[in-house]
Amino acid sequence: MKSNRWQISPVTEFSQISDAWDELNARNSKQGVLTAMFVQSLIDVFADDSLIILSKYQGNELSFSGIFEQKSAKRWGVFQPSQGPLGVCIADNKNIDRELIDEIVEQLPGPVWLLDLTQLDSAQYKQSDEQLDYLHYISTGSLAIPDDFDQYFSSFSKNTRQNINKSRNRLKKEGIETNLVVVTDPKAIVGAIEKYGEIESKSWKNSLGTAVNINNEQGQFYSNMLTAFAREGQAQVWCYQFNEQLVAVDLCVVHGSTITILKTTFDEAFARYSPSLLLKMDAYKALSKQGTIKHIEYFGKVMDWHRRLKCDERQLFHITWAKSQNVYRLMSWIKQKIKK
């Protein structure tokens, strides 16, 4: 029988477990946004040195690992920057139960009264332990790349098909040609991110201060991360043009046969043509023809356009552990009553 051992390391030493982390991801989550390369990029830009890596080994094999931050005196949580679609932790056997959480709490420094595991994927983890509290976060979507794109398109509602065809006909009538450019060259990634930021800075996101800019932390993260992925042939930036005018951009990473769309933006001056939707249609058609990528992950909140494109929905959720779970449940119930 393999013996268990736990190890605590500073977040600055993540590179030392990166190979074992990727092996753990390959056995379980199999997500590009949980690869060591993606996580290292999050660490480089958004983590401070107070974060720790907590790892469990069965024999010499990593069976759980996560990056944790102290949120208050007696509260800890998994590392969760807004650019990370999933909480930065992976558990073997696709299971996070009370027993594992009790072990995590025992290993964390100091007294722990609350522990938050955020943005877990229901495709990977069960919600079946009655001793834990699960909180719905969002419904997200995914899509199997169609083998027959025309058949896929014909499965849309009549209204969706008509709207897409109207946009294409309007563009043709106005003499506007569409062109999808897929940027994969590591040397071209930063320039593509800069163009993405220029478009997003003209949108409503700029007024909220959430727009990607090549000079802010978001821009730094996406530039560094996508360049690293591009060096491995695992990054795609979809750029959509009306004649020579760039009107929409999607930032994507590839892992195995899955592509994840991380960010999407379009020039609102061309909204009447639905450029982002046309970009998706042309990109999905190209992927269908190529046949190497079989699956698309969105990880954002399911929107109307996801449903119109026939995505499959599932839940992302949080787990909160409390030293006194009954007291926590009572306090949560009181808060809900106050809100009503």
Tell me: the pLDDT tens digits for 114-136?
A: 999 999 999 999 898 888 889 99
pLDDT band (50, 70, 90) for residue 208: low
The predicted model gives 3-7 an average pLDDT of: 89
Give the pLDDT confidence score for residue 93 in this predicted structure: 80
Contacts of 214 by beta carbon, 8 Å cutoff, 6+ apart: 190, 193, 194, 197, 223
Give the pLDDT confidence score for residue 156 in this predicted structure: 96
pLDDT band (50, 70, 90) for residue 95: confident
Query: Would the pLDDT of 211 be above 80?
Result: no
Q: How much of the chain, in percent, has pLDDT values that exceed 70?
A: 92
Q: Which two tokens stand for residue 22?
A: 């990727």
Minimal CA–CA distance to 277: which of 246, 308, 311, 251?
308
End-to-end CA distance of the chain: 52
Give the pLDDT confidence score for residue 335 in this predicted structure: 61
- Mean pLDDT for the chain overall: 92
Query: Would the pLDDT of 109 be above 80?
Result: yes
